[in-house]
Structure 1
Amino acid sequence: MSKAFDMEVFLSGVLTGSHATKQRHLRQAKAIQTAIAMRWQLETPWVWQRKHVTWFLDQHLSRCSESTQYYYLLTIRILVRRLKRQWAFHR
């Protein structure tokens, strides 16, 4: 039996800012992880491709306000930095 992926440990090295900001990024990263896992059965960010994150931004957040989409984009940029990938998302 494998352990559940711990997003807090995964992002601990790249999260900066106030406690509230860190908690928001963690909450949003877990929501991104859950949505991608439900859609593609990919449990960890290590196996995500750019198309999975693009789907989340374009489809999953399509009914959310622009400000919500912006805050999720900030969280995605932190995830991408942690993964050491060169993905760029412009909104």
Structure 2
Amino acid sequence: MNRPFDMELFLAGVLSGSHTTRQRHLRQAKIVQAEIAKHWLRENPWTWKRKHLTWFLEYRLSERSEVTRYYYVLTLRLLAQRLEAPWTFSL
């Protein structure tokens, strides 16, 4: 039986800041996960590559405000940190 991937447990080691900030990062990471799973059929962050996160930033957030994109970039940086990947993302 497959259980859904627990994003909260995955990010637990790299999340810091206030409760609200941690909740925002978790919410956004789950949105990223759902979009990548829907488009690329990769539910587990361990199988993601930089192109998946770049795709999300460029195509799924293209209509969003710069402030929203900035907060998602912060979340993507946390995901890359947790994956121990040297990826960088910018607006």
Aligned twin of 2:65: 65
Aligned twin of 2:4: 4
Does residue 74 in structure 1 map to residue 80 in structure 2?
no
Q: Distance in 1 between matches of 2:65 and 2:52?
A: 20
* Residue 89 of structure 1: how far off its partner (Å): 1.2
Q: Distance in 1 between matches of 2:26 and 2:88?
A: 20
SS in 2 for 1:17: coil
Please give the residue correspondences for 1:10-21 in structure 2 after superposition, counting only pairs within 5 Å: 10-21=10-21
Aligned twin of 2:86: 86
Gaps of 5+ in 2: none
SS in 1 for 2:20: helix
Q: Following TM superposition, where does structure 1 have runs of at least 4 consecutive aligned residues deviating by more than 6 angstroms?
A: none
* Residue 2 of structure 1: how far off its partner (Å): 1.2
Q: Distance in 2 between matches of 1:59 and 1:76?
A: 14
Query: What RMSD in Å do the two structures reach over aligned CA positions?
Result: 0.5
Does residue 23 in structure 1 map to residue 18 in structure 2?
no
Look up the equivalent residue of 1:38 and give its one-letter code.
K
Q: Distance in 2 between matches of 1:11 and 1:25?
A: 9
Look up the equivalent residue of 1:45 and give its one-letter code.
P
Q: How many residues align?
A: 91
**Percent of residue pairs bearing the same amino acid type:** 58
Look up the equivalent residue of 1:88 and give its one-letter code.
T
Look up the equivalent residue of 1:15 and give its one-letter code.
L
Does residue 41 in structure 1 map to residue 53 in structure 2?
no
Q: Distance in 2 between matches of 1:3 and 1:83?
A: 20
